[in-house]
Amino acid sequence: MEKYMDYVLEQTKKVLAIDSPTGYTKEAADYVIGTYEALGYHPVKTVKGGVLVEIGGEDATDAILLEAHMDTLGAMVREIKGNGRLKLSPLGGMNPNNAEAENCRIITRFDGKYEGTFQLENASIHVNGEYNNTKRSYDNMEVVLDENVTSEEETRKLGIMEGDIVAFDPRTTITEKGYIKSRFLDDKLSVGILLGFAKFLKEENITTKRKIYHHITVYEEVGHGACGTVPEGVTEILSVDMGCVGDSLQCSERQVSICAKDSVGPYNYDVVTNLIKAAKENNIDFAVDVYPHYGSDADAALEAGYDCRHGLIGAGVYASHGYERSHVDGARNTLELLKAYLV
């Protein structure tokens, strides 16, 4: 699988470079569709805006659906202030502490994109004596536009209005030591991994025993990404999302995480057991963890009423929903586990 890792990283970087906050994912979806087509598959765009593609395989009565999501955290303009600056409402769980001083783009509906920075109000430390003591919230933070505007009227003349999408810079970099650092590795790293798995199956001319589908979802960050679009014959849904790294958890950025339970509840016992068995038998570096604050596309599908087994795996990611960090080894181990489990 090593020869497919360059492709995984290349696709991860390309998808990360496309703004796709929840509710504004068309450009990312079009890119993902084109990439699957270039590999020789026949993806379709769902009504909701996700990407569904049949990857192949024999048994269509015991099919598996692999899911990753391309929507990310972001924000929406909720108010244009009297001084021309913007108040935001978050899309998903973008914590204002993590977003402070980040460059961003305001995507207007009809007048292009504008750049700015998300800052605390009165952000100059040499002026604001309460800077250190101020709790960061969307009520006291603002986007300072990189435009010569000082009033609401001037900002509106640019074409900016309430409801415009705000996308934050991912700041993607891969270090010489193999660490992958970026916003929105949750879950675009998994999109890259699934594309790499699809390339592996195609180029190695592999037909799996079970039929496999990929669903690259949208609206995962607000909870209903996978509440539809489960093909007939699917008996198992495996979310490929970020693995949690933090205090009291075993996983590191260099491992693949197998989630036994998240805040919604336990994953299917047999699925988790078989994933662990596949990892052990193939000497894959893995950890099993219980995630304290987490919900996945697989959870959403079962909550929507689908009668399927479900599981969750992913490369270890530290500083989730912030400036995230994983490692090439974590992506590689995730790809290896997909191969061990399904081929």
| Boundaries of every domain in the chain | 2-72+184-342, 74-168
What CA–CA distance (Å, rounded) separates 45 from 52?
Answer: 6
The architecture in CATH of the region 74-168 reads: Beta Barrel (2.40)
Our measurement of the distance from residue 248's CA atom to the centroid of its chain's CA atoms, rounded to an integer in Å, reads: 23
- At 64-108, the pLDDT tens digits run 999 999 999 999 999 999 999 999 999 999 999 999 999 999 999
Rounded Cα–Cα distance for residues 332 and 325 (Å): 15
Q: Are the CB atoms for 243 and 251 separated by under 8 Å?
A: yes
User: What CA–CA distance (Å, rounded) separates 246 from 286?
Assistant: 15
**One CATH from 2.170.120.12, 3.30.1540.20, 3.30.565.10, 3.40.630.10 for 2-72+184-342:** 3.40.630.10
Q: What whole-number distance in Å separates Cα of residue 137 and Cα of residue 134?
A: 9
Task: With 0.85 as the threshold, say if the pTM is over it.
Answer: yes
Indicate the DSSP class of residue 268: P
Where in the sequence numbering do the catalytic residues fall? 220
Q: Do domains 2-72+184-342 and 74-168 have the same CATH topology?
A: no
At 293-322, the pLDDT tens digits run 999 999 999 999 999 999 999 999 999 999
pLDDT at 1 over 90: no
- The answer to whether residue 282 scores a pLDDT higher than 90 is yes
